[in-house]
Amino acid sequence: MLKSRPLALCKLYKCAKYPAGQPSRLSYYCFTPIARQFVTVPTMSAQDNKPEILKWASSDGEFRRRPSSFRKFISKEPGAEYPPEEGRYHLYISWACPWAHRTAIVRALKGLQGVISLSVVDWYLGELGWKFSTPEETPGATIDPVHHASHLREIYFRMNPDYEGRFTVPVLWDKKTDTLINNESSEIIRMLNEEFDDFVDDEFKGVTFYPKSLRKDIDELNEWVYDTVNNGVYKAGFATKQEVYETHVINLFKSLDRLEGILAKSTGPYIFGDVLTEADIRLYTTIVRFDPVYVQHFKCNIGTIRHNYPQLHKWLRHLYWDIPQFKETTNFEHIKKHYTKSHRQLNPFGITPVGPIPDIEPK
């Protein structure tokens, strides 16, 4: 829960709803009216002039994420169009992107590094979308060994020369049929979790992050966490109207409070007790970026994880420091440079803040 911030916000916004003495846990959320008295929102003509790939918000100021376009599935069911095979599939990711980061974590946790090959785009997202660079040009990036493409967009155009959607990561590609299988991270992590056990070492067989006994609970939590936290930081950060931003940033911190309470009651180090699930994985990729990027870049600054959310902070550090696959797939240089140098409509000079120091605190 947020600690020590509400009283300061009460004084700043002169909120009449605060009672005498210590305000309630959520009482700082009533600052909205005064913001509209004193804040002048600039016009967004620069946004309108951006190339399509760099336009984020609609005319009403809302950021609306488009649904993924490619939704085929790899399945070990008999007769499946795309059966699991060692070496057949290739995964394109960005270390910077939280959605792609999910798939990299599950690939590592399931021991699939030798089964599904990997390419990593450069951290910079420009007018032509994600580009490929050599490790010498950009440490942590790779070339595209499958198509020798210069940009990820070329892979999308292989599927449809008239494709008009976004060129997003992750991308799961079938090298045998030269087909883009799927670009929806939530579905890719399920495939990696469930369909390739015949090809992994014994220590990874049967390991699941979506256990049957918890599926209903995981699905319910994923739904509101996606809307208000995973995507909530973007809805706040890409908002182009003050009232839209305030609505989403408030909802984000209400959900962080809710997660803090869930972890406080958990019987183990994870959201669902002693069992690491996809709910932890999906949340991790947002929370590990929160203090280094979202607080300043997306103006999600009502509080920080390290100072205001002790349970989330403990959970985050456990995943990062105690489970190697989380740390090994977390590249803070790519993360910080991508957001601050690619989103020029938010940060015109592309200056990357030095802090927070460190990017993640020790246990």
By the 8 A CB rule, do 263 and 311 touch?
A: yes
By the 8 A CB rule, do 143 and 120 touch?
A: no
DSSP 305-330: HHHH-HHHHHHHHHHHHHSHHHHHT-
By the 8 A CB rule, do 189 and 281 touch?
A: yes
* The dihedral sign for the CA sequence 72, 74, 75, 78: positive
- Residues in CB range of 190: below 8 A, 6 or more apart: 210, 278
Residue numbers annotated as active site: 97
Please state, in angstroms and rounded to a whole number, the distance separating the CA atoms of residues 235 and 216. 26
Which residue pairs from 198-201 have beta carbons closer than 8 angstroms and sit at least 24 positions apart in sequence?
198/76, 198/84, 199/84, 199/85, 199/86, 199/112, 199/115, 200/110, 200/111, 200/112, 200/115, 201/111
